[in-house]
Structure 1
Amino acid sequence: MNRNPVPTRMFRTLAAGIFCASAAHAGVGPLQLIASDWDTNRVTAFDAATGVTLRDVVTTRAHGANAMAGMTVGPDGLTYLTDFATDEVRRYSTKTGALIDTFIPGGLGGLDNSTDLQFGPDGHLLAANGDAGGLLKYHGVTGAFMGQFIAPTACGSARFMAFLPENAVLVTDFGADVVARFDALTGASLGMFAPQLANGNGVTRLANGDVLIASWSDEVIRRYSPIGQFLSIFASNIHCNAVVAGPDGFVYVAEKRRHRIEKYNATTGQLVLTMGETFMRDPWCLAFYTDPCTADINADGIVDLFDYLDFVQQFASGATAADFNADGIVDFFDYLDFVESFSAGC
């Protein structure tokens, strides 16, 4: 519906002010850190740069959620979350927290207290099957069970995963005190990566190829070479669950004892900032998310003059695509909302 379109002269006047203050921007929102908390049954979004709490993605026991641990943000931008009480994997809107659906029904394929979820290089979902051991594989679009990816005999207490660029996956075995390496497409064993850990937990690969592994019982994070050679202690006096290298070049740690997320310089291991300490109890999984850029009208990855012109054309014609605030009506409020996003660069 087109109601009270803005006159062309008003467009020109408003546009002049916009373009005096605006330049082209990359068409993505700020990087957000998404963190699950096993103890509070809460998933929270933080501004990764500042540590500011942005919103709850999933609140305490929302939609029946209970003991939420394994979590990831999928290629579709949705949050995938395990529920220990029902052994389901549910999908939520990362932006609004709305429940989308139950992606994996309770216990499908033997799913039992999954501690980590990750999408592999083939687009399918792997679940670390905590209590039962091994990894299970599910179709990345439908959630259909695709089989046992890694047998419990090969990894009896799978906890966390990290993918390597050569189509390999590292899996920490909490009970066996090791990190094993597997083919990320077939699940075939590629041998031991790091032995003699004290309850290996979080694991991640850095941009330079080094690997960080959290050792739960002796409270350190160790740095290893790409081939598994021990290099140094990255951080000590740290009781952590997930360890994740962010796309911003920093390392994020779910720290249990201090009940918070900690952000580290990936090169020096220096603590940069903390977040969530006022309300977190047992932070577990970490993932990253960026809001789709709604002002990138032509979807070319840049917010610039051409997006403004395209929106003006849609708005003037009353096209449904100009319903920027999605209220079912194309009116001046859509224009104002677009201008706000456009001026902010997203």
Structure 2
Amino acid sequence: MKRSLNSLQVSLALTTLLGLNLVGLPAEASTLFVGSFENDAVLRYDTETGEFIDTFVNSGSGGLDGPVALTFGPDDNFYVISILTDSVLRYDGQTGEFIDSFVSSGSGGLDSPQDLTFGSDGNLYVSSTSTATSNSVLRYDGQTGQFIDAFVPPGSGGVLAPFGVRFGPDDNFYLSSTLTNSILRYDGQTGEFIDTFAFAGEGALPGALTFGLDNNLYVANFGTSTINRYDGETGALIDVFVDNIGGELNGPVQPVFGPDGNLYVSSLNTNNVLRYNGKTGDFIDEFIPAGSGGLNGAGWLVFAEDSASVPESSAGLSLLAFTAFVGAGTVLKRQFRS
């Protein structure tokens, strides 16, 4: 039976997560790419108007099944996590045509991949979220896609369901540990655990994360439908940047800053993309209306022009992933496939 959003919503027993991620230099400027989970496709929208342009990655292209995190790589091609096949697929960054399965299904123990990012070494880092098996961050050769190692070994630093991943302005590696409601920090060279950088609060279920132009850390909380802002140096909570008092945000994917300096968030349960003031966090508008262009299961986002495929020592950005766990980490994809 084809998976449905209802199955995701009903099975929030322990956690339901989403994320988006922004990296890379795509071919076209003035474009926002949005994963459409239910359609197994990636859609393009105008960054000024929010109007639908076209379907960049066609439904099921290359075996795409459950697109989550998206990014442009150092080779300017387009990388998409296919969560229901436990793989990372590569597409032409100009045309969206399928190139290959860059990280083959289950390579290195990949299970329920959520987010991905390219490091300064040119290699690809992927969160492998299943608490029943991997519970780690895996590293792959950035040119061949071959498995290198578990950069963050299973359970390192107490991680439980690693979700969003990003290199920070300090060149260290940050991830959201969803089931411990925390953000963990690791040495960016060795992967060794440094500390618990921030605590999101009970029931927050932190997912995707991004560093803003102010070098502070912004984290989407799926459990509370809010966006927290943390001091990028100390991890201290600055504020609930998007408090969602108006109730427009429901199931946030990762926060992503656009070329206009505002914050864009895909809202899973309302199937749209919302825009917030990048300085105050105030709600501006529904940038991409529900269902625009056939959008079904609004997920990870990436802006074409605001990306940097390899993080510099003083900057960082990010795009989307999504899955759900039942009990002690049983992944919903088994239900999707049944």
Residue 211 of structure 1 contacts residue 224 of structure 1 at CA under 8 Å; is this kept in 2? yes
- Which protein has the larger Cα radius of gyration, Structure 1 or Structure 2? 1
1:126: Cα distance to partner? 0.4
Matches within 5 A, 1:171-250: 171-197=175-201, 198-226=204-232, 227-235=234-242, 236=244, 237=247, 238=249, 239-250=251-262
Say if 2:124 is the partner of 1:125: yes
Q: Which residue of 2 aligns with 1:45?
A: 44
For 2:101 and 2:28, locate their aligned partners in 1 and report how far apart those are by CA, in whole Å.
27
Matches within 5 A, 1:84-123: 84-123=83-122
1:191: Cα distance to partner? 0.6
1:247: Cα distance to partner? 4.7
For 2:259 and 2:73, locate their aligned partners in 1 and report how far apart those are by CA, in whole Å.
15
3-state secondary structure, aligned to 1:39: coil
1:146: Cα distance to partner? 0.9
Residue 122 of structure 1 contacts residue 185 of structure 1 at CA under 8 Å; is this kept in 2? no
Match for 2:139 among 131, 137, 140? 137
Residue 30 of structure 1 contacts residue 47 of structure 1 at CA under 8 Å; is this kept in 2? no
Say if 2:288 is the partner of 1:275: yes
Residue type of the alignment partner of 1:190: I
For 1:211 and 1:66, locate their aligned partners in 2 and report how far apart those are by CA, in whole Å.
30
Say if 2:263 is the partner of 1:254: no
For 1:147 and 1:175, locate their aligned partners in 2 and report how far apart those are by CA, in whole Å.
24
Gap change, CA 1:248 and 1:144, over 3 Å in 2: farther
Which structure 1 residue ranges, 4+ long, deviate > 6 Å from structure 2?
A: none
Count of residue correspondences: 264
| More helix per residue | 1
Q: CA offsets per residue over residues 65-104 of structure 1, 9 Å max, x none?
A: 1112132111222111122332221111233221111111
Residue type of the alignment partner of 1:213: V
Residue type of the alignment partner of 1:148: A
Q: CA offsets per residue over residues 154-211 of structure 1, 9 Å max, x none?
A: 2220111232121112211111111111122221212111114311112111111221
For 1:94 and 1:50, locate their aligned partners in 2 and report how far apart those are by CA, in whole Å.
22
Gap change, CA 1:105 and 1:276, over 3 Å in 2: farther
Residue type of the alignment partner of 1:272: I
For 1:248 and 1:79, locate their aligned partners in 2 and report how far apart those are by CA, in whole Å.
23
Gap change, CA 1:108 and 1:29, over 3 Å in 2: closer
Residue 72 of structure 1 contacts residue 285 of structure 1 at CA under 8 Å; is this kept in 2? no
Q: Percent identity?
A: 27
3-state secondary structure, aligned to 1:115: strand
For 1:31 and 1:184, locate their aligned partners in 2 and report how far apart those are by CA, in whole Å.
32
3-state secondary structure, aligned to 1:46: strand
1:49: Cα distance to partner? 2.4
For 1:37 and 1:151, locate their aligned partners in 2 and report how far apart those are by CA, in whole Å.
31
3-state secondary structure, aligned to 1:175: helix
Q: Which residue of 2 aligns with 1:14?
A: none
For 1:30 and 1:82, locate their aligned partners in 2 and report how far apart those are by CA, in whole Å.
22
Residue type of the alignment partner of 1:115: Q
Say if 2:300 is the partner of 1:285: yes
3-state secondary structure, aligned to 1:257: helix
For 1:30 and 1:50, locate their aligned partners in 2 and report how far apart those are by CA, in whole Å.
14
- Which shifted more, 196-205 or 267-276? 267-276
Q: Give the superposed CA RMSD.
A: 2.0
3-state secondary structure, aligned to 1:221: strand
Residue 185 of structure 2 contacts residue 195 of structure 2 at CA under 8 Å; is this kept in 1? yes
The TM-score, its normalising length taken from structure 2, stands at: 0.73
Q: Which residue of 1 aligns with 2:154?
A: 152
For 2:235 and 2:84, locate their aligned partners in 1 and report how far apart those are by CA, in whole Å.
36
Gaps of 5+ in 1: 1-27, 292-346
For 1:276 and 1:43, locate their aligned partners in 2 and report how far apart those are by CA, in whole Å.
16
For 1:196 and 1:249, locate their aligned partners in 2 and report how far apart those are by CA, in whole Å.
24
Gap change, CA 1:290 and 1:266, over 3 Å in 2: closer
Residue 36 of structure 1 contacts residue 286 of structure 1 at CA under 8 Å; is this kept in 2? yes
Q: Which residue of 2 aligns with 1:3?
A: none
For 1:262 and 1:136, locate their aligned partners in 2 and report how far apart those are by CA, in whole Å.
31
